Structure 1
Amino acid sequence: MGGAVSAGEDNDELIDNLKEAHYIRSDLVEQAFRAIDRADYYLEEFRDNAYKDLAWRHGNIHLSAPCIYSEVMEALDLQPGLSFLNLGSGTGYLSTMVLFSLGRFPCKIIRSYVKQRPGKPQNHGVELHADVIEYAYQKLDTFIKTCDSFDKFEFCEPSFVVGNCLEITPESRQYDRVYCGAGVQKEHENYMKNMLKVGGILVLPLEEKLTKITRTGYNIWETKKIIAVSFAPLAQPKNRDTGKSKAIPLRKCKQSTAL
């Protein structure tokens, strides 16, 4: 899905168009989108297409359309101090936007939109392809070295691990917010839901609808369909026939603070 928003000449114009089309509706999400230039996550030879509302793929590297990411960010209802798990973390573009939302914001306009929470944020990603994780860390390193927003935010850098997200032992860790960037079959819905803490939010493509699932109790769920989407399906584990799951290690993320 994509192409619903007019192409921009630069990142700010793209975001202006997303706001005008009501894909970006909150100041918190707008600040995160403006802090990161989408073109920086493209290969150099494809940067001219970065500000179109279209998905992009080159080999294993993939970015969803900007309108999808904005709907995801709005649906996650991110707040400082939360833990976040990105399943199919790809280039790290979304995880990097999320890191601004999990940190504490000295900006008064942002503080009025988020509830300060105790504890350190967690920002983890699981990605199937090792070359994509290498690409994500390269982009993250460049972003950290060139970002001019460090004087405005306190945040937690994302950490990425190689693995199939269907091979995580669900009981190993639960998160406040979870996003899956691949199409989820109905048979895997409960597996995904069990990664959430009570009160947590899961956003995923389910039966060709971007879906928001809120865990309101131990066995109580609220489901909301957001928009129609078309995502490639989750890759099935190679050891599916054995019935065994790998406990994918999720590292503690490094907390970064404005100096």
Structure 2
Amino acid sequence: MFSYLTGCLIGLLALENVLAAYNNSHIIDVLEEIDTIKHPRVIDAMIHVDRGHFCAHNDSRKYMLAARDIGYGSIIDNPVQHAEVLELLKDKLVPGAKVLDVGSGSGYLTTCFAHMVGKNGSVVGVEHIPEIVAHASNVTTLHYPKLNKRIKFICGDGRLGYPEGGPYDVIHVGASSEVVPKALHNQLKPFGLLYMTAIENQDDETRELWNHTVYECQPDGRWHKEVDRPGSMVQWEHQLRNYSEQVHSWWHTTTTEWPFADRHDGDWVLENSNPFYPDRTIHCHYVDQKKLTLHSYEHSDISELKTYETRDTYETPEDKK
């Protein structure tokens, strides 16, 4: 038992070394190494837009390859997901393009879009949390004054879009939805792309699984839909394990197959062996970085994830007894 726990702790430390990056350039190096970013324009955007600027000021691990808490119940998604979005949309993120970023959050991806569309392009970020809107606006004003001229941050309901800035070549929806809001459909140019995560639905508008989905608007108003892959983050932990042989084989997680997997902040890891959770049971592991201990338990009430999503302390079943 002692040797097993020792191996687990060594593995956790090794995994953290893999997930940790020293600066923005190191993030790019790792993403290239695991073959997540390939296109020169995507690499250029992620080099010029420093992720650390958009993280919390006191976050000592802002360059980890993990989602990070930025306050007010919001996070900045992990760099792998950002890179994959940019790779998927790169052919439409061309000079002069118009982009709508729904659920713009930290403003990081919004700013990457602005870099890629050039001085004649424009990007609108819509976010419903006023403090997060102010955070994103302040960061771009301070660190990216040239890009800021082509960015507009709006505090409002993203489901309504921002028709004043359209029609758009690209609409990126950072949140998941059962259907594409009609307002967003109407604001997309013919042959424009809408990117979102589709979730279970009873009709044919979306797949019955969580998917990264890209919709292309046809001239007659119909959708042409392409599903990139199931789940929010299907491959990245496995890629990282391949990247470094330091990570021990005991670390087996299907976190990336679970829809909320990208909501962790480097401490919490959600795991489910079946991505479609027929038993609606999740397995949750928490690594106490100070004590270097591993806490593990099962939880059946999926609704209680709301406390986790808002970055509040997640109570284990034992805590509630």
Normalising by structure 2, we get a TM-score of 0.58
Query: Given that residues 123 and 156 in structure 1 are in contact (C-alpha distance below 8 angstroms), is that contact kept between their aligned partners in structure 2?
Result: no
Contact kept? 1:8, 1:14, Cα under 8 Å? yes
Q: After TM superposition, list the pairs within 5 Å mapping 1:139-218 onto structure 2.
A: 139-144=139-144, 156-168=149-161, 173-186=166-179, 188=180, 190-207=182-199, 208-218=210-220
2:35 pairs with 1:51:
no
CA distance in 1, matches of 2:218, 2:19: 37
Q: Using the TM superposition, give the Cα deviation of residue 86 of structure 1 relative to its aligned residue in structure 2, in angstroms.
A: 0.4
Alpha-carbon distance, 1:80 to partner? 0.4
State how far apart, in whole Å, the 1-side matches of 2:260 and 2:124 are.
Answer: 21
- Unaligned runs of at least 5 residues, structure 2: 1-15, 200-209, 233-258, 262-321
CA contact (8 A) 1:76 1:202 kept: no
- Is 1:31 matched up with 2:44? yes
Q: Which amino acid aligns with 2:135?
A: Y
Give the match's secondary structure for 2:58: helix
Higher RCO (C-alpha 8 Å, min separation 6): 1
CA shift in 2, pair 1:32/1:157, >3 Å: same
The aligned amino acid for 1:209 is: N
Q: Does the 8 A contact of 2:171 with 2:188 survive in 1?
A: yes
Structure-1 residue corresponding to 2:245: none
Q: Which residue of 2 aligns with 1:12?
A: 25
Number of matched residues? 205
In the TM superposition, structure 1's runs of 4+ consecutive aligned residues that sit over 4 Å from their partners are 168-172
Query: What's the Cα RMSD here?
Result: 2.5
Measure the CA separation in 1 of the matches of 2:151 and 2:165. Answer: 19
**TM-score, reference length from structure 1:** 0.71
Q: Which amino acid in structure 2 is aligned with residue 175 of structure 1?
A: Y
Residue identity opposite 1:53 in structure 2: L
Q: 2:95 aligns with which of 80, 83, 88?
A: 80
Moved more, 75-84 or 49-58: 49-58
CA spacing shift, 1:216–1:21, aligned 2, 3 Å: farther
**Structure with max Cα Rg:** 2
- Using a 3 Å threshold, how does the CA distance of structure 1 residues 201 and 156 change in structure 2: closer, same or farther? farther
- 2:113 maps to 98
| Residue aligning to 2:288 | none
